[in-house]
Amino acid sequence: MKAPTDQSHGYTKGLVAELALVGLLIGFGSFSVHRLILLLLIASQSLWVRGFSWSDVGFRRPPAVRHTLLQALIGAALILIAVRTAIVPTAEWLAGAPIDLSALGEPGDVRALWIRLGQAWTLAAIGEEMVFRGYLIRRLGDLVGVTPAGQAVALVISSGLFGLAHGYQGSAGVIAAGTIGAILGVLYFVNRRNLWVVILCHGIVDTVALTAIYFGRESWLFG
């Protein structure tokens, strides 16, 4: 006689396996554009098989476009101030080393600047927010629960993975990016899980950082 099928247990095992694969793609080895694209494909498949779409996790038109843009600008300004005054100094103190900015371009290289700005607004702002805020927070919430405590756990784990994805910036960069990811996650929750606020905020922060590096003024932002 066969044992009864425990569909809930099977679902949990499948979810753990899915999240473990995603965690390995993010945290094992160097994170790359190809891995981000693969993560977007996995996330899209995960949503599709459950009858959802990206709009269900926040990739939809915001209810008030001007209000969304204003929130993104304010959020970006606060993040940039925090980066200069608290996030980077604390991260470098904890890591015992400065953030490695070498992958973000050299001063005066206008071609590299435009390429990186394009990547910042597509792969980083849109792609990373879809994966780390939209998909991961939702799927981690499915695993740990939709209670306030469960959502806090989902926020912490997704932010930690976001930090690991920036391992090319060294240990300090991982800590700083993880902290920024947590702020973006809070902003995502505050805006009822609409991704456009964090997409715009992410893009503005990256644009300011890349522009500062281009003009050789990274010390104004990173200390």
**Alpha carbon distances (Å) from 137 to 31, 82, 175, 195:** 19, 23, 19, 12
Amino acid (1-letter code) at residue 37: I
What pLDDT is recorded for position 2? Answer: 41
- The residue to which tokens 């371009």 are assigned: 105
Give the chain's count of helices (H) and strands (E).
Answer: 10, 0
Output the 3-class SS for 11-45: HHHHHHHHHHHHHHHHHCCCCCHHHHHHHHHHHHH
DSSP assignment of 62-117 equals: -S-HHHHHHHHHHHHHHHHHHIIIIIHHHHHHHHTS----GGG--TT-HHHHHHHH
6: confidence class by pLDDT, cuts 50, 70, 90: very low
pLDDT tens-place string over residues 148-197: 999 999 999 999 999 999 999 999 999 999 999 999 999 999 999 999 99
For a pLDDT cut of 70, what percent of the chain falls above it? 97
What is the spatial distance between Cα 172 and Cα 166, in angstroms, rounded to a whole number? 10
Q: What is the pTM of this model?
A: 0.93
3: confidence class by pLDDT, cuts 50, 70, 90: very low
5: confidence class by pLDDT, cuts 50, 70, 90: very low
Length of the chain: 223
Determine contact, residues 61/199, Cβ cutoff 8 Å: no
Determine contact, residues 26/102, Cβ cutoff 8 Å: no
7: confidence class by pLDDT, cuts 50, 70, 90: low
DSSP state of 147: S
What is the spatial distance between Cα 152 and Cα 12, in angstroms, rounded to a whole number? 19
Amino acid (1-letter code) at residue 140: L
What pLDDT is recorded for position 75? Answer: 97
What is the spatial distance between Cα 216 and Cα 155, in angstroms, rounded to a whole number? 34
4: confidence class by pLDDT, cuts 50, 70, 90: very low
